[in-house]
A and B are shown apart, each in its own frame.
Chain A
Amino acid sequence: MTAVTLTVNGTERSLDVEPRTLLVHALRDDLGLTGTNVGCDSSSCGACTVLVDGQSAKSCTMFAVQADGADITTIEGVADADGTLHPMQQAFHEHHALQCGYCTPGMVMASISLVEEYPGLDENGVRHGLEGNLCRCTGYQNIVDAVLAAAGSGGD
């Protein structure tokens, strides 16, 4: 077992993991943060997307030990403490950008990172920017509209 220290949603967490433990499983199984989902085993679907030091990353493609010392933000950490949704979450709600909701945490995290990294994206840019996150329910149109709206309204 290897000791790992992560700052997760602003709180420092220490845990002992097998060196081969994926970051997503450390978050889910060791820290109980089950909002981050696992949808595949080939880094294709993006359901596990979190922010690592502010940049989106598929947490199934990293070992927890690789994240030692990193600042991690998961879906549980983006709304305000009083429950006010993050502007991207709010945009997803207002545009009906989710149905079953399984891809949603990863999609929201990827979208937050996308509009922060590339402000002013047009529709085509959003569509290609989210290529690594699959959704089976929505046909993406409302997701794209939500991301464009959040970007336009200053949603970071």
Chain B
Amino acid sequence: MTITEDAPAGHVGSRRLRKEDPALLTGEAKFIDDLALPGAIWVGVVRSTEAHANIVGIDGSAALEIDGVNEVLSGEDLAPLWGEGALPCAWPVTPDMKNPAHLPVARGTAKYVGDAVAVVLADSRYAAADGAAAVVVDYEPLPAVVEIEDAVADGAPLVHADLDSNECYTWGLWGDNAPAIDAAFAEAAHVVSERYLQQRLIPAPMEPRGCAAVPSPAGGELTLYSATQIPHILKVMTAVVLGIPENKLRVVAPSVGGGFGCKLNVYAEEILCSALAMQRGAPVRWTEGRAEAAVSTIQGRGQVQHIELAADADGKVTAVRVKLLADMGAYLQLVTPGVPLLGGFLYHGCYDIPNYMFECTSVFTNRTPTDAYRGAGRPEATYAVERAMDSLAVSVGVSPEEIRARNFIGADAFPYESAAGLVFDSGDYQTVLDKAVALADVDGRRAEAAQRRASGSSKRIGVGFSSYVEMCGLAPSRVLASLDYGAGGWEAATVRISPTCKVQVVTGSTPHGQGHETCWSMIVADQLGVDPDDVEVLHSDTAVSPTGLDTYGSRSLAVGGTAVYMATEKVIDKARAIAAHQLEASEDDLEFSGGVFRVRGTPEAEVPLAGIAFAAFTAHDLPDGMEPNLEAHVTYDPPNFTFPNGTHIAVVEVDTDTGDVDLIDYVAVDDCGVQINPLVVEGQVHGGILQGAAQALYEDAVYNSDGQLVSANLGDYLVPSAAEAPRFRLDSHATPSPTNPMGVKGVGEAGTIAAAPAVINAVVDALRDLGVTDVDMPASPQTVWRAIADAQGGAS
């Protein structure tokens, strides 16, 4: 027991090392493929090699000759398992949104390369893979729609023959403001009109997906293990799709090797393994291969963005107008249609812009479905507005930092109601930018850049800015209702204190690398005056943590962490009542610190929490009517989003002879509110930045005109290594959020949201005197070299 008066106070804010680490460092942690399931049926999925084709025949005879391959099943064969039950989309963003039924295994027509068309059941992982490769599918190819803009061209082939176009929905946000916006553009001294491309990205967590469904035939129960971010949501959805009573279903996320949004979904293989396990009365498992993941797991981004800014003579922006085309892929996954909307509120960035119009048309293509990928809509919005602000700076003739300063929402303007209808909680954007400018030595870098230009060096220096604000802490349930999202935004927590005064925290938030166990322990330890090592945090298993809405959208701390904080406060309230009873004092006269209740002014009258915990357990002498035990449950529905913000500055060296871009410095100053553990915060920022920079420089899900993904493995899809990564230099400037009691905001996606425009603005800055005004992502050597050549008069 560590409850003493001198127990370490103030864990929150310290760089405490993670309690998650030892199991992960020694190989003790169990990921999905580590589960030993003797007698399990291994599933191999036969995937369409055509972007769009009628399935004429499936011949499994060669597969069935392979030792260990037992069955080959087509979509028709599997139909009795789910009937017309389709994979769920939980976000019907408009009443007329098109949502074609997405069956776990296709019947009749395959709609993208990677679409499941048949299944092999085998005795081992090798036999399953061999069997899937040996199944011969006879395809009748159909015309395919591959690129976004081709989907809305006249005469475009239809992805879904029963729809009259490839349009999924059109969603807008402008209210009755259209005349004011038109007037702002008519009166503008400067107008910027830009078109940007958000290439498709492959999320590529280091652990591919996998799942295993284990039945208990006698009782009719099923346990679904899955490498998922969302065991709670997956449980509800699996129950609905397959008609399994929820009380017979348990979902467990074991150690999960990263998600970045792509494990925030309900996938065909989870439904397939569950249904087969119930039917066969045996464990059924599937582990995804990396090249398979490239087409069978959702991809991110995939937008064509048109953004216009109107500004007065001083560069003060008066209106922003955005039209998006967004690529849904062939079908809608769990939140596919909502991703562009999450950015749709933020195309004015961190600027005070009175007039706002956003419109998104989303389209079907014959490609893998898109869905949430780290940042989910917000990196796209930040990219567009931050690139456009740099264009405006050039038009006005001021520096990137000056155009931002002239437009920032002022530190005295919070709470700030944006033209898009959000209420921003807190921030001091100018101070954050000033800190970043100083840390990056922008003046020095610009002098260096000028010197290189003057000397005719082929190694140009560029400095790029990105100031961002994001909305996270998803979300007030009523706001989600107004967006037609199919669930709430609350989070649940239970805190209980054992007879020996150890603390058990049950959280509905589901970690997959973020460090929840460490951070939740620090919060609770400070509140209760116990050691964080005396706090255990349980999660990710619906039998242990029955209530929750899981981890995505940088919501864990602001919503889940707040629920834990509030449940702990409730426990303290109950303990206080017991302490008052024992000390024969009024609750109002008690103070609680360091794990001890004391009567104010009577220092010898005290009782430690440990004594109260034991008294609550024995229940021998509790106040009249009080229930035994120290335990409290809270479901917290936040009153608002939180709004992290920051300024990032990238410095690049561009070789004008080869087009090669080297990221030579990267400075980030972030306001994520109060930091529970700066060590963990910095880790999130580092990784987030590299993922954003990777979109800017390396990563691209490249499809050819036939709809074949040609960058399907890690040899072709360039996830950066340590050799490409820069050294990040970080600072912070916290403005506590008034939305929740700890003043926290969230940090999981900030780096990714900020980084891509900072890097591309730096590349363009390096090349602007050569006439380059835009470089597409990823800014590969070839793309950069061609941009220079084109600017220099098409000398390609």
Q: Which of A19-55 contact B (CB under 8 A)?
A: 20-21, 25, 28-29, 32-42, 44-45, 47
**Count of interface residues, chain A, beta-carbon cutoff 8 Å:** 58
* Binary contact track B392-423/A, C-beta < 8 Å → 1, others 0: 00000000000000000000000000000000
Interface 0/1 of B1-36, CB less than 8 Å to A: 000000000000000011011111111111101101
* Contact residue among B28, B291, B723, B727 (Cβ-Cβ distance under 8 Å from A131): B723
B686 in contact with A37 (CB, 8 Å)? no
Measured CB to CB, the closest approach of chain A to B289, in angstroms, equals 5
Q: Most B CB atoms within 10 A — which of A20, A32, A75? A: A75
Main secondary structure of the interface of B (DSSP, over half): loop
Q: Is A70 an interface residue (CB 8 A)?
A: no
Judge whether A57 is part of the interface by a CB distance below 8 angstroms. no
By the criterion CB–CB under 8 Å, are A99 and B514 in contact? yes
Q: Is the CB of A100 within 8 A of B206?
A: yes
Q: Chain B residues near A28 (CB, 8 Å)?
A: 33-34
- Residues of B contacting A133 in the complex (Cβ-Cβ under 8 angstroms): 721-722
Given contacts A37-B31, A101-B255, A102-B206, contact A139 B714 (CB under 8 A): no
In the bound complex, CA of A21 to CA of B721 (Å):
28
Write out, one digit per residue, whether chain A residues 104-141 have a CB within 8 A of any chain B CB (1) or not (0). 11001000000000000001001110111111111111
Determine if A79 is an interface residue (Cβ-Cβ < 8 Å).
yes
Q: Is B715 positioned at the interface, with any CB of A under 8 Å from its CB?
A: yes
CB-based contact B683/A136 at 8 Å? no
Say whether B25 contacts A108, CB under 8 Å. yes
Q: Residue A139 contacts which of B17, B291, B686 (CB distance < 8 angstroms)? A: B686
Contact, CB under 8 Å: B715 / A127: no
The chain B residue with its CB closest to the CB of A32 is B36
B312 at interface by CB-CB < 8 Å = no
Cβ-defined partner of B686 (8 Å) among A42, A98, A138 = A138
Q: From the candidates A98, A138, A141, name the one contacting B727 in the complex (CB within 8 A).
A: A141
Chain A residues with CB under 8 Å of B81's CB are none
Q: For residue A107, give the distance in angstroms from its CB to the closest CB of chain B.
A: 9
B258 touches A100 (CB 8 A): yes
Check if B687 sits within 8 Å of A45, measured CB to CB.
no
Judged by a CB distance under 8 angstroms, whether B728 is at the interface is yes
A98 touches B722 (CB 8 A): no
Q: How far is the CA of A96 from the CA of B686 in the complex (A)?
A: 11
Most buried by B among A29, A38, A136: A136
CB < 8 Å: which of A75, A127, A128, A134 contacts B714?
A134
Q: Tell me, yes or no, whether A143 is within 8 Å of chain B by CB.
A: yes
Is B512 at the interface (CB under 8 A from chain A)? yes
Do A139 and B257 touch (CB < 8 A)? no
**What 1/0 mask marks residues of chain B from 254 to 277 whose CB sits below 8 Å from any chain A CB?**
011110100000000000000000
Measured CB to CB, the closest approach of chain A to B563, in angstroms, equals 23
Given contacts A25-B125, A130-B721, A134-B721, contact A141 B31 (CB under 8 A): no
Given contacts A41-B290, A41-B291, contact A93 B25 (CB under 8 A): yes
Contact of A38 with B33 in the complex, beta carbons under 8 Å: yes
18 contacts between A and B (CB under 8 A): A41-B713, A93-B21, A96-B679, A99-B683, A99-B687, A100-B257, A102-B31, A103-B206, A127-B721, A127-B725, A133-B722, A134-B206, A134-B719, A136-B260, A139-B686, A139-B751, A140-B686, A140-B721
On chain B, the residues within 8 Å of A103 by CB distance are 206, 257
Do residues B722 and A126 form an inter-chain contact, with CB atoms below 8 A? yes
Q: Report whether B512 and A100 are in contact in the complex, using a CB–CB cutoff of 8 Å.
A: yes
A64 to chain B, nearest CB (A): 12
CB distance from A129 to the nearest CB of B (A): 8
**B730: nearest residue on chain A (CB-CB)?**
A141
Q: How far is the CA of A41 from the CA of B513 in the complex (A)?
A: 23
Task: Using known A-B contacts A138-B683, A143-B722, determine if residue A99 contacts B25 with beta carbons closer than 8 Å.
Answer: no
Interface readout for A85-98 with B: 1 if CB under 8 Å, 0 if not? 10001001110101
Closest to A88 in B: B25
Complex alpha-carbon distance, A104 and B260, angstroms: 17
Which residues of chain B come closer than 8 Å to A12, judged between CB atoms?
none
- Any chain A CB within 8 A of the CB of B738? no
User: Does A72 touch B at the CB level, under 8 Å?
Assistant: no
For residue A39, which residues in chain B have a CB less than 8 angstroms away from its CB? 206-208, 257, 290
Q: With a CB–CB cut-off of 8 A, which chain A residues contact B21?
A: 92-93, 98, 101
Q: Which residues from chain A contact B17 at a C-beta distance below 8 Å?
A: 93-94, 96
Asked whether, in the complex, the Cβ of A136 is within 8 Å of the Cβ of B206, the reply is yes
Minimum CB–CB distance from A53 to chain B (whole Å) comes to 20
Q: Would you call B360 an interface residue if the criterion is a C-beta within 8 Å of the partner chain's C-beta atoms?
A: no
Residues of A within 8 A of B680 (CB): 96
Q: A100-B257, A130-B722 are in contact. Are A42 and B26 (CB under 8 A)?
A: no
Beyond A104-B24, A127-B721, A130-B721, 12 additional contacts (C-beta under 8 Å) are A34-B27, A35-B28, A37-B206, A38-B33, A40-B713, A41-B289, A100-B24, A100-B206, A123-B727, A131-B723, A133-B721, A137-B513
Q: Check: B690 CB closer than 8 A to any chain A CB.
A: yes
Residues of B within 8 A of A128 (CB): 722-723
A144 to chain B: which residues have CB within 8 Å? Answer: 722
Interchain CB contact under 8 A, B725 and A137 = no
Interface flag for B691 (CB, 8 Å): yes
Determine how close the nearest CB of chain A comes to the CB of B202; give it in whole angstroms. Answer: 11
Q: Are A40 and B290 in contact (CB under 8 A)?
A: yes
CB of A75 within 8 A of CB of B26, answer: yes
Q: Is the CB of B26 within 8 A of A141?
A: no
Among residues of A, the one whose C-beta sits closest to the C-beta of B24 is A101
Query: Would B257 and A89 count as touching, CB distance under 8 A?
Result: no
Q: Report B296 CB to chain A, min CB distance, Å.
A: 13
State A67–B728 Cα separation when bound (angstroms).
Answer: 40
Bound-state Cα–Cα, A105 to B255, Å: 14
Closest B residue to A21 by CB, please name it: B126
B558 CB–A CB distance under 8 Å? no
Smallest CB gap from B15: residue in A: A96
Most buried by B among A33, A45, A96, A101: A101
Contacts of A100 in B (CB 8 A): 24, 205-207, 255-258, 512-513
Question: Does B689 touch A at the CB level, under 8 Å?
Answer: yes
Nearest-CB residue, chain B, relative to A77:
B27
Residue of A nearest to B683 (CB): A96
Determine whether A68 belongs to the interface, using a CB cutoff of 8 Å to chain B: no
Picked from A34, A42, A140, the residue with its CB within 8 Å of the CB of B290 is A42
